[in-house]
């Protein structure tokens, strides 16, 4: 009885999470603009999507900002996480609390603060300020993803590499980085997701002529959401789903290869 209740509970949670997405996908194929009735199956919204320069331009800004912010914040976050890990416990905990503050802080406060900072240094709002803002709030997520991997490392691993003749930089790239690479990759994906998903910080730190996808959708919502947005959301969801499947298949393949290697090892008696 308890197992059935657990399964029912999990099923209700999954239904609550994915029912809106399934509904959005269905409406992307609806020939009618109205969400109240079904006008028949069509692909017209997908065709019109690829001819809408406003949406395509916003998508290009979103992807370019997302990948650049994720890449730069991953580099900064990786170096910062290693530096924090090598500190003593008390200053490390203090600095980690400061680094995690942007994640706990309200996005409205972060967006307004960055906007005031750019005004103070006379930096015109635009693509650069949008990129810098996304890097600023993505770095803590990278640090948060990498720190658990660093705690799992042998503390004497770097010293052992240097004893064997490696420089500190060589020891980092050849010994430490390969072991924390899953955390680095998770941090990159997290930063990319947060950048693409952001609206509030982007709204306060972008200028005229530079608009990402979330701002464009917000602007369109004032006069009604076009079914083209449903088509675009369906494509994005499909890409994320394929990426997730590819990552899981890679992990399963690695586990299978490791299991085969362990089976080949003979233990002498």
pLDDT tens-digit map of 32-47: 877 777 878 888 889 9
For position 96, what pLDDT does the model report?
A: 85
193 pLDDT higher than 50 = yes
- Spell out the domain ranges in the chain: 53-235
pLDDT tens-digit map of 69-113: 999 999 999 999 988 888 888 888 888 888 888 888 888 999 999
CA distance 109 to 98: 16
269 pLDDT higher than 50 = no
Exposed, middle or buried, 86 (CB in 10 Å: 0-12/13-18/19+)? exposed
Residue 130, helix vs strand vs coil: helix
For position 78, what pLDDT does the model report?
A: 93
pTM (2 d.p.): 0.82
- Domain covering 53-235, topology: MetI-like fold (1.10.3720)
Residue 30, helix vs strand vs coil: strand
CA distance 73 to 264: 41
């Amino acid at each position: 009885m308890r197992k059935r209740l657990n399964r029912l509970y999990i099923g209700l949670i999954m239904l609550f999470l994915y029912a809106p997405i399934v509904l959005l996908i269905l409406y992307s194929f609806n020939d009618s603009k109205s969400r109240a009735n079904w006008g028949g199956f069509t692909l017209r919204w997908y065709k019109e999507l690829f001819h809408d320069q406003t949406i395509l331009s916003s998508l290009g800004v979103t992807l370019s900002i997302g990948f650049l912010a994720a890449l730069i914040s991953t580099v900064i976050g990786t170096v910062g996480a290693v530096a924090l890990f090598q500190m003593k416990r008390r200053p490390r905990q203090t600095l980690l609390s400061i680094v995690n503050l942007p994640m706990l802080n309200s996005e409205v406060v972060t967006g307004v603060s960055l906007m005031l900072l750019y005004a103070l240094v006379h930096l015109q709002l635009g693509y650069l300020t949008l990129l810098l803002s996304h890097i600023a709030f993505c770095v803590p997520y990278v640090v948060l993803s990498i720190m658990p991997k660093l705690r799992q490392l042998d503390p004497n691993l770097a010293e052992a590499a240097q004893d064997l003749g490696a420089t500190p930089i060589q020891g980092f790239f050849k010994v430490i980085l390969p072991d924390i690479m899953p955390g680095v990759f998770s941090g990159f994906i997290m930063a990319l997701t947060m950048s693409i998903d952001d609206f509030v910080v982007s709204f306060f730190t972008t200028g005229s002529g530079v608009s990402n996808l979330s701002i464009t959708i917000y602007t369109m919502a004032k006069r009604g959401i076009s079914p083209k947005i449903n088509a675009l959301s369906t494509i994005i969801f499909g890409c994320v789903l394929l990426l997730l499947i590819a990552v899981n298949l890679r992990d399963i393949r690695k586990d299978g290869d490791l299991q085969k290697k362990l089976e080949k090892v003979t233990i002498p008696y």
